[in-house]
Structure 1
Amino acid sequence: MSQPISVRTVADGVARLAWSVEHTVDEVRREVARALVDHPRVETLVDPDDQAAQRVATWSGMHREGVMRGVTVGDGPVDRIVYARLATDAPVNEPGGFRALLNSFLPRKRAISQMLVRDPDGRVLLCRLTYKQDWDLPGGVVEVGESPRIAVAREVEEELGLTIDAGDLLLTDWLPPWGGWDDAICLVFDGGVHHGSVLDEVVKQEREIREVRFCTIEEVRELAADFTARRVEAAVRGRADYTESGRT
């Protein structure tokens, strides 16, 4: 006979469950429901390598909340995935509750929006950033729930003090994991053609921007990282291509 599912109060209003491989999803789901009678929150900590326990936690109705790093368990610190269900969560058998459950563990891709701004000579506006040596197109990370088109206009205004509407999408570029970053999708929007005097209107966000200037494609290749230069050249072609690290 398997040991009972462990249910203990770890903080005011918080119950923590632990179970063994013999326990089924239905058994864990029932214990979650019982614990929620007296606790607003029920949680469990799951080994990232234990796929079976992750499935049980999910289909018992608990949302994946993230990874708690360096938890002291047994002989030393380990990482644990935190799953939890709140008394206020919508029932899983309702469409909204089921979507919320799926949304908690399905992959989320980071999105970056950039703007291609050119002058009448075809030169490209590049920024020298404070946090890396390479130059790059103006833009930045899209916030949760934010339109990529709105995001790039917001970033250009925040970083450069320029109000430029984002035009057509010129390029979708996938960036593989690199240098400690997860992978991301980079969307490059058309910022139109502006006279070189637009640089006189720039108000740099000193925390992020060191220098701004229009560059020829040859200068882009010299100043930017290889994958950035490839992305810029692909965006200049303006065919709404899809590339991976700037390569078709």
Structure 2
Amino acid sequence: MSEQPEVSHATVDDGVARLTWTSDLTERGWQAAVDVVRRQVADALTEHERVEVKVAIDDAEAQRIATWSGLRREGIQRGRTGDVVVYARLVDDVPVHEPGGFRALLNSFLPRKRGIAQMLVRDETGGDASVDDEPRVLMCQLTYKADWDLPGGVVEVGESPRLAVSREVEEELALEIPAGELVLTDWLPPWGGWDDALCLVFDGGVHPASIADQIVPQAREIRSAAFLTLAEIDERAADFTARRVRAALASLAGRGPAYSESGR
């Protein structure tokens, strides 16, 4: 009986081949393994439109081999017996030796950070953060959590954060307020099932308090919106949100840094 090959592929669906390899391959070292796997990928793509491999999420060496064999990381497949990382290559992917193909390969596995854009809008009653009068800040009561928050939302893939925050304010509050300068970059650590994120707070300017009467809340996400004092924000918002508002106001007035971590 012949020995099992170190790496092989088998058809698992119409036009789809799946690679498997033995521990003998990884023991040869990742560079030698990459040469073997790369040839197997090319062979599989002569008869299939897609070739993939699934490796354990804690197997860093196998992930390295898959990556440098030209397979793009597609994501995590969860399973009861353990999560796996899915890598794949399509027959019409740009070759890795070409700049566009190499960039696409890097883009598939390099870290990505979630972006959130929010707007700091004040009313004319103490709305200028450079004076001693206490500012009132526009805040939203959300439908999906008890805490109030600054208007804004998640930045879409490929979207400018500055445009994103104006879009969110218009969609959720029916207010057309162009975003001004970036006031604060606030890093949010992992929390409550969320990955970490960067929150960018843009200056929304000072407006008459009467604009609150023009607000039409998007029913799916916004219960209400109002200008609140800092004391009211402390009562209604999460502590890290209250800290972010104060940090943004301090930065706007030149009394604090333009970067914070969870508002600190």
TM-score range, shorter chain: over 0.9
Contact 2:8-2:40 at 8 Å conserved across structures: no
Amino acid in the other structure paired with 2:113: K
Q: Measure, in 1, the Cα distance between the counterparts of 2:189 and 2:21.
A: 37
Q: Deviations over 1:199-246 (max 9, x none)?
A: 111110011001110011111111111110010001112146100000
TM-score norm. by structure 1 comes to: 0.95
Q: 1:105 aligns with which of 100, 105, 109?
A: 109
Q: Please give the alpha-carbon distance, in whole angstroms, between the structure 2 residues aligned to 1:98 and 1:126.
A: 44
Is the CA contact 1:64–1:84 (under 8 Å) kept in the aligned structure 2? Answer: yes
Tell me, yes or no, if the aligned pair for 1:2 and 1:22 is still in contact at 8 Å. Answer: no
1:59 equivalenced with 2:68 (yes/no): yes
One-letter amino acid of the counterpart of residue 117, structure 2: S
Alpha-carbon distance in 2 for matches of 1:84, 1:130: 39
Determine whether 1:118 maps to 2:122.
Answer: yes
Are the counterparts in 2 of residues 21 and 53 from structure 1 also a CA contact under 8 Å?
A: no
Structure 1 moving runs of 4+ over 6 Å: none
Match of 1:139 among 126, 146, 152: 152
CA RMSD of aligned residues (A): 1.2
Please tell me whether the aligned partners of residues 35 and 42 of structure 1 are also in contact (alpha carbons under 8 angstroms).
Answer: yes
Amino acid of the structure 1 residue aligned with 2:260: T
Q: What residue identity is the alignment partner of 2:17? A: A
Which residue pairs with 1:41 in the alignment?
50
User: What are the residue-to-residue correspondences of 1:217-228 with 2, within 5 Å?
Assistant: 217-228=230-241
Q: Kindly indicate which of the two structures has a greater share of residues assigned to strand.
A: 1
Q: Of 10, 13, 19, which residue of structure 1 is paired with 2:12?
A: 10
**In 1, Cα distance between equivalents of 2:200 and 2:24:** 47
| 1:242 matched residue in structure 2 | 259
User: What's the secondary structure of 2:74's corresponding residue?
Assistant: strand
Equivalent in the alignment of 1:86: 90
Cα offset, 1:2, TM superposition? 6.4
TM (norm. structure 2) is: 0.89
Distance in 1 separating the partners of 2:119 and 2:51: 45
Amino acid at match of 2:202: F
Structure 2 distance, partners of 1:213, 1:84, is: 49
Identity among equivalent pairs (%): 67
SS, match of residue 150 in structure 1: helix
